[in-house]
Amino acid sequence: MIFDLIQQRRSVFPPQYNDRPIAKKDIEKILEAANRAPTHRKTEPWRFKVIQGDKKAELGEFLSNTYIDITVKPKQIKAKKLIENPKRAAAIIAICMQRDPNESVPEWEEIAATAMAVQNMWLCCTAMGIGSYWSSPALIEYMDEFLPMNEGEKCLGFFYMGYFDEVLPESNRNPITDKTVWIK
């Protein structure tokens, strides 16, 4: 049931991943789930770039080098993490948003639709036993130097994916009653 998947969804980080690869057909299934997200005026703004193989290490080097270049006092531990995390993932999907050239909807709606597509991917991964994590480092503003990007397209982050062995902790959310106002 979908409610169970929503409750089971967790962020699973690259250091938790094992070496098991994700089959291309499974990644395609996850992307097809993303493609079923709601979209205002049917702009379908989500764009995805799947990064695997040697390109993962290249992404890590690019992120680390960019971090070092733009940071006044870069931290070695962060630079190393930027190199290592992509290599640990079975696949990384660059989450991009293509702005409607006619600007028929506000940009925030395009971003929201893309986020809904990612939530569909996340729930699909949960159902398939694949760990995933949406990372949105400040470095995404430089991704047009690494990824092929169309005019009006921007990177919103990376969706790291990988199988994992450990048991995940229970969800720790504050009650919805603390966040809800009933207006009659």
Q: Which residue positions form the known binding site for FMN?
A: 9-11, 36, 40, 134-136
8 Å CB contact between 167 and 23:
no
> What are the backbone angles phi and psi of residue 114, rounded to the nearest 5°?
-65, -40
Say which residues have a Cβ less than 8 Å from residue 25's Cβ, sequence separation at least 6: none
Alpha helices, DSSP H only, in 9-154? 24-34, 54-70, 76-88, 107-128
Say which residue the tokens 């980080």 belong to: 13
Residues annotated within the binding site are 9-11, 36, 40, 134-136
Task: Sort 13 into a burial class: Cβ within 10 Å, 0-12 / 13-18 / 19+.
Answer: middle
